[in-house]
Amino acid sequence: MKLLSSESHNIAWFNLANFIARREKERALSMYKLLMHSVSDKAFAYQLEGDILLAFDDMTALDKYYAAADLYKQRASYTKAIAVYEHVAVVYNDIKILESLLDVYDILQDEIGIIHSFSRLANIAVKTNNFSVVLNRLQIYLINGSPLLQAELYGYIFFALLLYDRQNLHIETYLSQALDAYMKVADEHVLERFLSKIKVSDQFFYDKAKKLLSSLKD
């Protein structure tokens, strides 16, 4: 098939942007198909199609994003896969997306990425009564994670319960586990930061934390 000339190619991209701006979905998708004849990167093609569909609030965009991320992972382009999942996670609060994102951070052993994604996963899971998802993921990091990682994850589970399920019978247990884990971290400032965050969030549990900390030190 004849490829677009450079000038025609630029005009086509311009028209695509205009069709999206004018909310002309079918014309935008038709222009997208025309443009993709000159694009060999299938992952990029799926990602762009997802962006177009998302612009029209079409939920099938998720399927395109997953397809793009899967292809990026297959060729070990993990940074690009993360970018796709992070982009989607901003728009859709979805457990599956965050689990997929964690899978990639696991491959890279990126503990900062794991902590950030786990905190969001914990909030959504507790809010939607899917706590087992959090526990299953936590078990992985209790085996392989650093002391800081484990402390942070226990801490975010506690805060997720505090925010969405304050009456949970196990909330104090997770608080205690978080404190115990933070005490094993060499940098004492992380424990101080955790306590400060509790103090700002809930005086009752801050007092609980101080008592638990004293008993753990004995």
Per-residue tens of pLDDT for the chain, all 218 residues: 344 445 666 787 888 899 899 999 999 999 999 888 888 899 999 999 999 999 999 999 999 999 999 999 999 999 999 999 999 999 888 899 999 999 999 999 999 999 999 999 999 999 999 999 999 999 999 988 899 999 999 999 999 999 999 999 999 999 999 999 999 998 889 999 999 999 999 999 999 999 999 988 76
Residues with Cβ within 8 Å of residue 15, at least 6 apart in sequence:
31
Q: How far apart are CA 72 and CA 62, in angstroms?
A: 15
Residue 138 falls within a domain, yes or no?
Answer: yes
Instruction: For residue 151, give the amino acid letter.
Output: A
- Among residues 94, 42, 89, the alpha carbon closest in space to that of 64 is found at 42
Residue 162 falls within a domain, yes or no?
Answer: yes
Q: Give the SS3 label for residue 70.
A: helix
Residue 5 falls within a domain, yes or no?
Answer: no
Residue 60 CA to its chain's centroid (Å): 19
Residue 3 falls within a domain, yes or no?
Answer: no
What are the start-end ranges of the H helices in 92-188? 95-108, 111-127, 131-144, 147-164, 171-183
Q: Give the number of domains in the chain.
A: 1
Residue 21 falls within a domain, yes or no?
Answer: no
pLDDT at 1: 38
Residue 184 falls within a domain, yes or no?
Answer: yes
Structure tokens of 81?
């896969």
Q: Give the SS3 label for residue 184.
A: coil
Is the distance from CB of 37 to CB of 3 less than 8 angstroms? Answer: yes
- Rounded to a whole number of angstroms, the distance between the first and last alpha carbons of the chain is 77
What pTM was computed for the model?
0.87
Is the distance from CB of 165 to CB of 171 less than 8 angstroms? Answer: yes
Helix (H) / strand (E) containing 84? helix 78-91
Is the distance from CB of 54 to CB of 61 less than 8 angstroms? Answer: yes
Residue 30 falls within a domain, yes or no?
Answer: no
Helix (H) / strand (E) containing 18? helix 6-21
Residue 161 falls within a domain, yes or no?
Answer: yes
Q: Which residues form the domain of 214?
A: 93-218
Backbone angles phi, psi at 177, to 5 degrees: -65, -40
